[in-house]
């Protein structure tokens, strides 16, 4: 937003004046004028398409696979519990029938804005004064506090959250052992046995918000309340198949348990209870095939939308439960996080646009006391002359220009022409009071490493070509500005003045006392200097092609970039190919010291070492500079430190370990293009207001807090989400509903200052059961994942995992206490329908790259990069990363009639377990960051030939999938293209692996089959048993 304190004038405001023009600027003058007679319609324009959608279809990103690192050790079993036992060899491959496959995206069914004028019916919350949220008006000088607003930390504390990098799935080094067992032909040894997975039995209710009745697979036996001893599982036919070798190996792990044996389906109807049972008994009935699995992907909660049709879409705001507890005591029994995930610029649902509103002469209508923006839930009274704020209950005057008569029902006559009174999401044009300076132009500044490795890897060439190819599509023409600095052991500035025909390069070698030569011509208007910029990008790779310099004066270069950019702000893209070695901010090879692993100091490797990085991030945020870090080295580069720059400036980390243009070039091209061309909100601030009695007490994601509740986001886009937790401030809430309003004040690329407002309401309840019924697993998992990653910045990985496990145990224990006794569920594990996937996602969080295994199982940089990435992911994207798609494609490829169907109709997602893999099949694993094609050992050679051409028998690590001249190949390529287009935020690289190919198969796929027990990590069955046992303790 507007601004920050840097000396800009304060905005005049009634309540308080805040220096920010931004978002929720407190200070806009309240419109208190008396009611006037005429009503005026405000112009309403549809939101410009350009503003809301990225132009390119690219999706980029994922981290490339990490090259197999040799050093990996198999993970230690974090969550393993001690269940002795062993599993029988499994049957192996099941030919899986295809299961019905729901739309991955789920949910689109609802209607957003049915017109009913809802407002009048709602009872306005009564109440006292302004919610605490208001406070923020004043925007104090920005203090740098990482996450928790509450406890202001000054610059110091390590960030608790990180984000953006390569997604978790990225390659982890194969543990040597890991290849293990599992691989050797796990399937062939067994004849396909029962098709248990295939949807039949499991009848999973489709996740209705309120299940009224469902069929639950319940094993006849209760989870054997094995309370006291380790359960032993009887072997069962359909169980998890494992290769004998694997089983043998697993003897090392006490926790290894045999698959359950007979399956029995017991149908129960918990109709009024919304309970689900898990087949729990160890003995006879533990049927893992019936365990809940999110094979339909994320399903957005829709009960919220049905109850309150004028709420904003859940893609913008998802509460962890749509039923807000009415007391602190009730909240304390909930145990799960109480909060929300907000993605303020999420792309609008297809066919819908966020309306753009100009209040014109009446000024923006906001509550005089709490600064809430007028929304569908305010009520008009006194013949239309006054309106009551739904958040603080303040009775405000309606400005004359905004006046409208009311009809007999109290509804404004002009309601249908006022989107802000009927829709939960609107975009408001902000007048000059919301600016502390003229809206900035879009600015892209590039800081590029041109040392030896940057050249050799091909990074420099790909980056230069991609930037050049995007010049026509950078947002904001003709105001867009651009500039470059390159560096190795010295800094290179480029004069891009439009009157030149070639850029002039100036070298600065004094790293201790940086000065910027020609400060006015280093950042230039792109349209004016287009020729010079193109000439520069064309010549850049050549200029340094023979550069043998190995040093990296990254810190001084960063300072120089800051000096060039701090007049206006903008987006700074950093391309770093090695460990910063010279000048301020130089880093050490601390991540290479194994002595720290496993000690109490281990976490320090995951936080920035030098305060230089946090300080630079704070300075950049203050001056509206958002940083994205692109890192490419195959050696340790201290992503923990570099990523801090992105974390506190609202940016993102892209990690391409061991970058080679021939392999990762496409990925970089797509992801960089997406980054450069997606619609971006500049100089933004975001605040979320909520009703009296509750307040947001902590925030988690990539941003910097400017005051207790104001998030500074120098540059934000549709791919960024933020999680936050709520606290009840009052012992008892007296209102029947609680309102939430997200306001993002920003400068659009077109130069308009705007406020994007999302409003929603949720009921206040006195019943814990209702809170559970209204729980949203996706939102809860998003909060948990962020909390867990933050925890790794101050504790051991084991502690972070245990924390997640304990949180789930407490929540399910409470739920059990609520229901078990009267229904004699005895030894069963029970959970609400709404949370049926929570245990599995909890396990997935523990197995995700930031938390997985031991310190040495995954390279430190990879772990940190994944953490930075996950901290920013929107809900759907995060859930897909945690429980990726796995589907079989060979049968579909062979079926000529299957071509025109929608993917979801043809391809069914499979459980992420080795037993889902048939050695006669071809499978695709897709976590949103990479696609792995797994070729079964017994796959028909014809298919392999069709798809791979002459390379069909080659070492697949060297083969790149390319379209061949035959229908099958084209069909597969179309499928891959579609998968990428469906989720353009990152560009998954396509990797090929053959069954049994070690160690690639292990780290590309097997390690990611999270339901399996591997290398010491807990499998789904054991995880459920552990949870159940712990839940029963002290139950």
What does the binding site for Zn ion look like in residue numbers (CB under 5 A)? 367, 369-370, 372, 389, 391-392, 394
Nearer to Zn ion among residue 370 and residue 1027 (C-beta): 370
Smallest CA-to-CA distance from 1028 within 212, 205, 219 is with: 219
Nearer to Zn ion among residue 639 and residue 742 (C-beta): 742
- Least Å distance between CB 693 and Zn ion? 14
- Least Å distance between CB 15 and Zn ion? 11
Instruction: Judge contact between 706 and 668, C-beta under 8 A.
Output: no
Nearer to Zn ion among residue 317 and residue 389 (C-beta): 389
Nearer to Zn ion among residue 310 and residue 990 (C-beta): 310
Burial class (CB in 10 A: 0-12, 13-18, 19+), 500: middle
CA–CA gap between residue 911 and residue 396 (Å, rounded): 55
- Least Å distance between CB 355 and Zn ion? 22
Nearer to Zn ion among residue 190 and residue 367 (C-beta): 367
CA–CA gap between residue 832 and residue 815 (Å, rounded): 8
Distances (CA, A) of 80 to 53, 106, 240, 286: 45, 33, 18, 18
Nearer to Zn ion among residue 392 and residue 760 (C-beta): 392
Please work out, in degrees rounded to the nearest 5, the angle formed at the alpha carbon of residue 278 by the alpha carbons of 277 and 280: 125
472 secondary structure, DSSP code: G
- Least Å distance between CB 691 and Zn ion? 9
- Least Å distance between CB 697 and Zn ion? 20
Instruction: Judge contact between 969 and 1005, C-beta under 8 A.
Output: no
Euclidean distance between the first and final Cα of the chain, in Å? 50
- Least Å distance between CB 24 and Zn ion? 12
Nearer to Zn ion among residue 392 and residue 864 (C-beta): 392
* Phi, psi (degrees; rounded to nearest 5) at 1024: -65, -40
Tokens 């850049």 correspond to what residue? 540
- Least Å distance between CB 893 and Zn ion? 59
- Least Å distance between CB 875 and Zn ion? 29
Burial class (CB in 10 A: 0-12, 13-18, 19+), 729: middle
- CA dihedral over 747, 748, 752, 755, signed as positive or negative: negative
Nearer to Zn ion among residue 26 and residue 339 (C-beta): 26
CA–CA gap between residue 546 and residue 543 (Å, rounded): 8
Smallest CA-to-CA distance from 494 within 557, 545, 431, 546 is with: 557
Smallest CA-to-CA distance from 607 within 576, 658, 648 is with: 648
CA–CA gap between residue 527 and residue 514 (Å, rounded): 29
Nearer to Zn ion among residue 394 and residue 818 (C-beta): 394
Instruction: Judge contact between 40 and 360, C-beta under 8 A.
Output: yes
DSSP secondary structure string for all residues of 91-159: P---PPPPPP---SS--TT--S------GGGSPPPP--S--GGGGGGG-PPP--B-S-SSS---S-SPP
Nearer to Zn ion among residue 66 and residue 398 (C-beta): 398
Nearer to Zn ion among residue 523 and residue 762 (C-beta): 762
DSSP secondary structure string for all residues of 946-972: HHHGGGGGS-GGG------SSHHHHHH
Nearer to Zn ion among residue 171 and residue 394 (C-beta): 394
Smallest CA-to-CA distance from 380 within 333, 429, 328, 415 is with: 415
- Least Å distance between CB 394 and Zn ion? 4
Strand pairing class (930-935; 922-926): antiparallel
3-state secondary structure 787-822: HHHHHCCCCCHHHHHHHHHHHHHHHHHHHHHHHHHH
Nearer to Zn ion among residue 181 and residue 394 (C-beta): 394
- Least Å distance between CB 253 and Zn ion? 58
- Least Å distance between CB 387 and Zn ion? 10
- Least Å distance between CB 13 and Zn ion? 14
Nearer to Zn ion among residue 389 and residue 607 (C-beta): 389
- Least Å distance between CB 29 and Zn ion? 15
CA–CA gap between residue 52 and residue 345 (Å, rounded): 8
Smallest CA-to-CA distance from 193 within 256, 235, 221 is with: 235
Nearer to Zn ion among residue 18 and residue 995 (C-beta): 18
3-state secondary structure 568-610: CCEEEEEEECCCCCCCCCCCCCHHHCHHHCCCCCHHHHHCCCC
Task: Provide Rg for the chain, Cα atoms.
Answer: 28
- Least Å distance between CB 124 and Zn ion? 10
Nearer to Zn ion among residue 62 and residue 130 (C-beta): 130
Reduced to 3 states (helix: H, G, I; strand: E, B; else coil), residue 422 is coil
- Least Å distance between CB 132 and Zn ion? 12
DSSP secondary structure string for all residues of 980-1022: HHH-TTS-PEEEEEETT-TTHHHHHTGGG-TTS-BTTB--HHH
Tokens of 148: 């928790």
Nearer to Zn ion among residue 375 and residue 661 (C-beta): 375
Give CA torsion, residues 751, 753, 756, 757, to 10 deg. -170
Q: Which residues contact 582 (CB under 8 A, 6 or more apart)?
A: 489, 511, 551, 552, 553, 554, 555, 556
Secondary structure of the chain: what % helix, strand, coil (to 5)? 30, 15, 55
- Least Å distance between CB 763 and Zn ion? 20
CA–CA gap between residue 439 and residue 434 (Å, rounded): 10
- Least Å distance between CB 129 and Zn ion? 9
- Least Å distance between CB 706 and Zn ion? 22
Nearer to Zn ion among residue 391 and residue 690 (C-beta): 391
């Amino acid at each position: 937003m507007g601004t920050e304190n840097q000396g800009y004038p304060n905005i005049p405001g009634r309540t308080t004046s805040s220096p920010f023009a931004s978002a929720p600027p407190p200070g806009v003058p309240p419109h208190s004028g008396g009611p006037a007679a005429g009503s005026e319609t405000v112009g309403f324009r549809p939101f410009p398409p350009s503003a809301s959608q990225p132009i390119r279809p690219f999706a980029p990103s994922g981290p490339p696979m990490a090259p197999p690192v040799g050093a990996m050790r198999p993970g230690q079993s974090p969550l393993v519990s001690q269940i002795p036992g062993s599993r029988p060899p499994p049957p192996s491959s099941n030919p899986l029938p295809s299961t019905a496959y729901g739309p991955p995206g789920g949910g689109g069914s609802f209607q957003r804005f049915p017109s009913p004028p809802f407002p009048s019916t709602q009872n306005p919350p009564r109440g006292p004064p302004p919610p605490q949220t208001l406070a923020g008006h004043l925007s104090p000088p920005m203090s740098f506090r990482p996450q928790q607003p509450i406890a202001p930390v000054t610059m110091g504390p390590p960030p608790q959250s990180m984000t953006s990098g390569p997604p978790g799935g990225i390659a982890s080094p194969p543990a040597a052992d890991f290849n293990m067992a599992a691989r050797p032909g796990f399937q062939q040894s067994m004849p396909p046995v029962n098709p248990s997975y295939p949807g039949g039995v499991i009848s999973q209710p489709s996740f209705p918000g309120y299940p009224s009745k469902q069929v639950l697979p319940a094993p006849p036996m209760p989870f054997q309340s094995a309370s006291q001893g380790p359960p032993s599982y009887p072997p069962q036919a359909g169980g998890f198949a494992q290769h004998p070798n694997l089983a043998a190996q697993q003897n090392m792990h006490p926790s290894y348990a045999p698959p359950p044996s007979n399956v029995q389906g017991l149908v129960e109807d918990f109709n009024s209870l919304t309970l689900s049972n898990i087949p729990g008994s160890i003995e006879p009935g533990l049927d893992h095939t019936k365990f809940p699995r999110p094979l339909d992907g994320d399903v957005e909660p829709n009960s919220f939308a049905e109850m309150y049709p004028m709420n904003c879409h859940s893609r913008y705001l998802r509460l962890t439960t749509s039923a807000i507890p009415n007391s602190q005591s009730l909240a304390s029994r909930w145990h799960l996080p109480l909060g929300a995930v907000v993605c303020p610029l999420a792309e609008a649902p297809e066919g819908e646009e966020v309306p753009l509103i100009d209040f014109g002469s009446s000024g923006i209508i906001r509550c005089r006391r709490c600064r809430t923006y007028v929304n569908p839930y305010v009520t008009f009274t006194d013949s239309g002359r006054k309106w009551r704020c739904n958040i603080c209950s303040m009775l405000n005057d309606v400005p004359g220009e905004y006046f409208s008569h009311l009809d007999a029902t109290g509804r404004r006559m002009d309601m249908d022409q006022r989107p802000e009174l009927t829709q939960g999401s609107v975009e408001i044009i902000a007048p000059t009071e919301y600016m502390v300076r003229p809206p900035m132009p879009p600015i892209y500044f590039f800081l590029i490493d041109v040392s030896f490795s940057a050249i050799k890897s091909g990074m420099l060439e790909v980056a230069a070509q991609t930037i050049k190819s995007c010049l026509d599509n950078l947002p904001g023409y003709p105001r867009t500005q651009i500039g470059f600095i390159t560096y190795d052991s010295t800094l290179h500035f480029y004069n891009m003045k439009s009157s030149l025909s070639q850029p002039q390069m100036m070298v600065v070698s004094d790293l201790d006392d940086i000065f910027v030569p020609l400060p006015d011509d280093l950042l230039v208007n792109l349209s004016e200097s287009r020729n010079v910029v193109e000439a520069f990008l064309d010549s850049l790779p050549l200029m340094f092609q023979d550069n043998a310099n190995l040093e990296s004066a990254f810190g001084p270069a960063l300072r120089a970039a800051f000096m060039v950019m701090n007049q206006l702000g903008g987006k700074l893209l950093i391309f770093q190919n090695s460990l910063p070695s010279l000048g301020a901010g130089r880093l050490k090879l601390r991540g290479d010291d194994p002595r720290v692993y496993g000690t109490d100091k281990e976490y320090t490797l995951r936080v920035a070492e030098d305060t230089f990085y946090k300080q630079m991030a704070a300075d950049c945020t203050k001056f509206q500079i958002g940083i994205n870090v692109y890192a490419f080295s195959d050696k340790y580069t201290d992503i923990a430190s570099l990523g801090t720059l992105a974390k506190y400036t609202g940016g993102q980390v892209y990690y391409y370990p061991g970058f080679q243009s021939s392999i990762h070039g496409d990925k970089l091209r797509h992801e960089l293009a997406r980054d450069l061309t997606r619609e971006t909100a500049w100089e933004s601030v975001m605040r979320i207001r909520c009703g009296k009695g509750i307040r947001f007490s902590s925030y988690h994601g990539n941003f910097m807090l400017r005051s207790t509740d104001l998030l500074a986001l120098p540059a934000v886009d549709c791919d960024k989400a933020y999680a936050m937790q709520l606290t009840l401030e009052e012992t008892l809430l007296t209102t029947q509903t609680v309102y939430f309003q997200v306001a993002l004040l920003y400068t659009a690329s077109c130069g308009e200052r705007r406020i994007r407002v999302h409003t929603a309401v949720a009921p206040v309840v006195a019943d814990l059961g209702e809170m559970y019924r209204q729980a949203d697993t996706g939102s809860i998992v998003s909060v948990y994942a962020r909390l867990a990653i933050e925890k790794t910045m101050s504790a051991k990985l084991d502690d972070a995992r245990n924390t997640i496990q304990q949180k789930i145990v407490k929540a399910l224990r409470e739920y059990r206490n609520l229901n078990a006794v009267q229904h004699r569920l005895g030894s069963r594990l029970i959970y609400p329908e709404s949370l049926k996937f929570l245990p599995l996602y909890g396990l997935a969080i523990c197995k995700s790259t930031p938390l997985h295994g031991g310190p040495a199982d995954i390279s430190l940089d990879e772990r940190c990069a994944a953490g930075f990435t996950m901290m920013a992911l929107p809900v759907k994207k995060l859930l897909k990363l945690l429980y990726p798609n796995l589907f079989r494609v060979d049968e579909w490829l062979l079926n000529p009639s299957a071509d025109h169907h929608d993917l979801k109709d043809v391809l069914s997602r499979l459980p992420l377990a080795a037993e889902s893999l048939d050695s006669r099949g071809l499978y695709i694993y897709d976590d949103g960051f990479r696609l792995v094609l797994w070729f079964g050992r017994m796959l028909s050679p014809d298919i392999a030939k069709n798809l791979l051409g002459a390379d069909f028998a080659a070492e697949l690590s060297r083969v790149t999938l390319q379209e061949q001249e035959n229908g099958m190949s084209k069909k597969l390529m179309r499928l891959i293209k579609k998968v990428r287009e469906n989720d353009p935020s990152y560009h998954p690289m396509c990797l090929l692996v053959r069954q049994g190919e070690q160690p690639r198969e292990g780290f590309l796929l097997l390690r990611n089959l999270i339901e399996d027990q591997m290398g010491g990590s807990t499998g789904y069955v054991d995880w459920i048993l552990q949870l159940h046992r712990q839940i029963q303790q002290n139950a």
